Amino acid sequence: MSKITIGGQFRGPPNSGNGGYVCGVLAKAFDGPVTAVIRSLVPLDTELEVATRDGARVLTGADETLIAQGGPSTQELPDPPVTPTLEQARGAMAGYLGHTQRVHPVCFTCGTAREEGDGLRVFPGQLAGADPGVVACVWTPHAAFAQADGTIPTEVVWAALDCPGFFAWVEKEGRHGALLGTMTGEVVVPPRAGQEHIVLAWPIVREGRKEIAGVALFDAEGRLMARGHQVWITMALRAPAAAPAGEAVKA
């Protein structure tokens, strides 16, 4: 058993850890695809326990409250429907909802209020010529997130792929709230700091309150670097003007 603290820098909602980042923290203990599940909001700046149980990594809080768990997966990961070029991804990025509306400015992944090296600044928008909900952007990992060899760690890669799945469904069905419930993913080739990469996400299917999305990361030449399958749990639909402080809720 070990201790871990999810610092405030890695928030998704203002008072909870970024879902993709937390899933990635659990996933990095394994090789190959991993499925991670968020069971409750993740306390920030609070000492948590990580233990191995039945081959999975389990994150618990006070009184052994289960927060998240993750372990090896045999789930088939979705194939990206398209591989955008850097130019196409830049064009999509210009239409990111957060550029014109207050969506979730403090989020580690997609927050527009986060500076380079503090947040990831992943800003996905609708990809021109693609089906509604297929979103893309360019992401250049900052050196502040790199390991000694210049590669980006698993938890940061998973965080970069978190929010795009949410915005895929927003672009397809309109603005609403949702929380990341489950993410299955793998990092095929670790991205490197300072290099341009392409982030892609697309809606797969809705099952009741569940919105299932696919996500992928490519290098500048279109080589697949990482991919994933996400399950988002929707909240009540609401118009932007009715949302508290104009923010969508997500992890």
Share of the chain above pLDDT 70, in %: 94
In a domain, 164, yes or no: yes
pLDDT at residue 188 is higher than 60: yes
Quick one: 147 and 240 in the same domain? yes
Which domain covers residue 175, as residue numbers?
86-246
Quick one: 105 and 219 in the same domain? yes
* Average pLDDT of the residues in 92-120: 96
CA distance 52 to 72: 12
Tell me, letter by letter, the H, E, C secondary structure of 205-232.
EEECCEEEEEEEEEECCCCEEEEEEEEE
pLDDT of residue 236: 63
Quick one: 190 and 96 in the same domain? yes
pLDDT of residue 240: 43
Burial of 174 (0-12, 13-18, 19+ CB in 10 A): exposed
Amino acid symbol at 8: G
pLDDT at residue 251 is higher than 50: no
First CA to last CA across the chain, in angstroms? 26
pLDDT at residue 149 is higher than 70: yes
Q: What is the pLDDT of residues 91-102, one digit of tens each?
A: 999 999 999 999
Total structural domains in the chain?
A: 2
| Cβ pair 21, 59 in contact under 8 A | no
* Average pLDDT of the residues in 31-42: 96
pLDDT at residue 71 is higher than 70: yes
Q: What is the pLDDT of residues 170-182, one digit of tens each?
A: 999 999 999 999 9
CATH value at residue 94 = 3.10.129.10
In a domain, 175, yes or no: yes
In a domain, 13, yes or no: yes
Q: What is the pLDDT of residues 237-249, one digit of tens each?
A: 544 433 333 334 4
Q: Which residues are paired to 5 by β-bridges?
A: 47
In a domain, 63, yes or no: yes
Q: Which residues are paired to 233 by β-bridges?
A: 179, 210
- Out of 41, 72, 103, a domain closes at 72
Mean pLDDT, all residues of the chain: 93
Quick one: 29 and 55 in the same domain? yes
pLDDT of residue 235: 85
* Average pLDDT of the residues in 56-82: 95
| Cβ pair 32, 24 in contact under 8 A | no
pLDDT of residue 26: 97
Quick one: 26 and 107 in the same domain? no
* Average pLDDT of the residues in 38-64: 94
In a domain, 79, yes or no: no
Lowest-pLDDT range, 62-76, 188-202, 209-223, 226-240? 226-240
| Cβ pair 179, 19 in contact under 8 A | yes
pLDDT of residue 243: 38
pLDDT at residue 112 is higher than 70: yes
pLDDT of residue 63: 84
What is the band of 250 on the pLDDT scale with cuts at 50, 70, 90? low
Quick one: 113 and 214 in the same domain? yes
